[in-house]
Structure 1
């Protein structure tokens, strides 16, 4: 029996920098714990992440209680269509992030680095800002005029922050972060994150003194090697940032995923073409459908299998994000990573496996 829309139980990840705002987007938070990440669609192997049970479990239908890896094992083509699994697992990781404090200044491995470091996993990601406190920023790449040696000298100290480009966190804006980009999610930001399935992070600075946090390991040698090799990504702000606060339609198209936004009037039907898996994330309003087990409100997530051909209906004024898993351009050889990002101003993505956390 082919699966219908899959509602998933999110994996809630405590973080020293996390907060309590995920409760406002439908996550049931344990009392007294700072939750930084909700892994809304996740399917990592336990050995590549410190997160306990890092696999989304289905909570409705014939697959209830099973993790995504089991659903893929049953019938990968029904769930994913022509897109291959990543080591037998779901090829994306979709999260909601709550940054009560600054996340570490960090960088993720590129495909080239991961190819010669089997313990690493390449990672590209994109952030859609859901909400932001006044004055909140995203740190993305380096300021004009900053040189490689400046970053080398400042790594591991607070001086590195002054070298980074601080971009205002505008709700509704989308920011693409190619592998190799030095970055940090700023305090006060609530964000949707779409990424390739990796938990590999190299920290260059962790704000331990500023926040009185317990010191965590830094990864200066690895992080600097990755950042130096991807220096063009770090100095070219247009490759890492794309502002789309008022735009609809396709916002971003990479070989790993495509992100689109739709605004629906009450009663409007959202119908996406079958053939590839899609993740629908409700930014505002409410949607339902004849095959949904319950309505989706703000922060609601549903995974639509490639085989499913149905409809979602807005019951109020609603805004949705749809994440297409893979791309029909994934075999395009026009970029070094096997595909060309066709959204203006954005750089090439990575993809991968995993090792550590923010």
Structure 2
């Protein structure tokens, strides 16, 4: 058994008309929220199920909100240079239950920028030396990029990617390419950490696990227990014809058979153990 989830579209200044067209909009869409229990956009599900109210039925646990947030993203311009807080910082600075660790799976070729050294980022704000502060990398299709909280990063124009993250919308902008939007410099400096680009990139992606989520790229298989599925290519899920970027949930205690290339996501130990030590 699986349950289809219906997307919500989010307009962004850096967004893409192409992404809008894919989902029946003539507006500049930056993000399609494929799966979300975040109060900004709560995605609806088949059968009238509510991801937050029916969470115990879906994942077997009650959390502050549905824990995984999955998006489809495409941009025509650079996103802001930004950073996200970790769980402790989110609780302290924003009174939010958790921070924002995320990951990107690139369906099409794209580009990213990483601020490996926070000191260089701080210097760039004073002397505009962003070419030195940001390491830009071309990303091939099928590549996975892990962005733990505290990573200074930006997504470049072009490409198409699936983002999997903790259900948080906490973003601190450091630099916005002169677009004049609000920046969050003081908070950003409190949360940014040193990173190395080579530690974040997984080419020819097959699977990944961190404390918040587990992700597999599968072409076929029997799925059992709670998981979220984002279809990448035409195929079949439980005798149902499915198309790219359709999104489904297999609830706890249920099964489904996959015969389509897809990303399959499950919650990690952080969410599995939520409440056990509270």
Q: Residue 37 in 1 paired to residue 34 in 2? A: no
Establish whether residue 155 from structure 1 lines up as the match of residue 125 from structure 2: yes
1:299-318 aligned within 5 A? 299-312=245-258, 314=259, 318=260
Distance 2:177 2:79 in 1: 8
Q: Distance in 1 between matches of 2:158 and 2:128?
A: 19
- Please state how far the C-alpha of 1:330 moved relative to its aligned partner: 5.7
Higher Cα radius of gyration: 1
Contact 1:258 1:327 in 2 (8 A): no
Residue aligning to 2:78 = 102
> Secondary structure of 1:40's match?
strand
* Correspondence for 2:186: 221
User: Which residue is equivalent to 1:237?
Assistant: 197
Deviations 1:121-150 (A, max 9, x none): 511000000112xxx4211232xxx5x433
Pick the aligned partner of 1:282 from 213, 216, 231: 231
Offset, 1:307: 2.0
Which residue in 1 is equivalent to 2:59? 80
Aligned to 1:113: 89
SS in structure 2 opposite 1:123? Answer: coil
CA contact (8 A) 2:115 2:121 kept: no
Separation in structure 1 between the aligned mates of residue 101 and residue 7 of structure 2, nearest angstrom: 21
Does structure 1 residue 68 correspond to structure 2 residue 51? yes
Cα distance in 2, alignment partners of residues 157 and 282 from structure 1: 45
RMSD of aligned residue pairs (Cα, Å): 2.4
Q: Distance in 1 between matches of 2:20 and 2:91?
A: 39
Paired position in structure 2 for 1:322 = 264
Deviations 1:182-238 (A, max 9, x none): 000111121100000100000011113xxxx4x2100111111211xx22xx2x334
Give me the whole-angstrom Cα distance separating, in 2, the residues matched to 1:303 and 1:156.
47
Contact 2:36/2:42 (<8 A) preserved? yes
Counterpart in the other structure of 2:112: 138
Number of matched pairs: 273
Mapped contact 1:155–1:220 kept (Cα < 8 A): no
Report which stretch shifted further, 303-312 or 150-159: 150-159
CA displacement at 1:329 relative to structure 2: 9.9
**Pair 1:57-2:54 in alignment:** no
Structure-2 residue corresponding to 1:335: none
- 1:177-216 equivalence runs, <5 A: 177-208=147-178, 213=179, 215-216=180-181
Counterparts of 2:2 and 2:237, CA distance in 1: 11
Kindly provide the CA deviation profile for residues 77-134 of structure 1, in whole angstroms up to 9, marking residues without a partner as x: x3103xx3431x21110000011111000000022322422345511000000112xx
Give the direction of change, closer, same or farther, for the CA distance of 1:323–1:224 in structure 2 (3 Å limit): same
Q: Tell me the equivalent position of 2:69.
A: 93
| Cα drift, residue 287 of structure 1 | 1.7
The answer to whether the 8 Å contact 1:284/1:319 transfers is yes
Q: State the Cα distance separating 1:151 from its structure 2 match.
A: 2.0
Determine which structure has the larger strand proportion and give its number. 2
Query: 118-127 or 181-190: which moved more?
Result: 118-127
**For residue 126 of structure 1, what is the aligned residue in structure 2?**
103
Shift of 1:70: 2.7
